[in-house]
Amino acid sequence: RKEVEQDPGPFNVPEGATVAFNCTYSNSASQSFFWYRQDCRKEPKLLMSVYSSGNEDGRFTAQLNRASQYISLLIRDSKLSDSATYLCVVNFPSGGKLIFGQGTELSVKP
């Protein structure tokens, strides 16, 4: 089993749609969780951290369920500029290492 698994993509949605990405992780000792965004052929960039109580940043909402070892990202009112690959990222308890999921590609169409 992969340490971090994400929904397979790609997700093709129209502008204005709401889209949700899911992710599961295997190491129950993990303490920190993130969503990164990666544009085509560029480096990943931090989109948002994920907190136990859930957190929101504008149109983006992240949720964490520790009992189920499940993380989600909800994007409301999708924009063309949201088209990218979204990476679910979990820290490895020792050494500060981050483990990346394989990514889910989002394509927002006019």
Partner 1 sequence: NAGVTQTPKFQVLKTGQSMTLQCAQDMNHNSMYWYRQDPGMGLRLIYYSASEGTTDKGEVPNGYNVSRLNKREFSLRLESAAPSQTSVYFCASRSRGTISYTFGSGTRLTVV
What residue ranges bind partner 1 (CB under 8 A)? 4, 32, 34, 41-46, 49, 87, 91, 95-103
Nearer to partner 1, 18 or 31 (CB): 31
* Residue closer to partner 1 (CB basis): 1 or 110: 1
CB of 55 to partner 1, least distance (A): 14
* Distance (Å, whole) CA 64 – CA 53: 7
Q: What are the angstrom distances between the C-alpha of 63 and each of 33, 70, 92? A: 10, 8, 19
Burial 37-53 (b: 16+ CB within 10 A, else e): bbeeeeebeebbebeee
Name the minimum Å distance from CB 81 to partner 1: 20
> Looking at beta carbons only, is 17 or 105 nearer to partner 1?
105
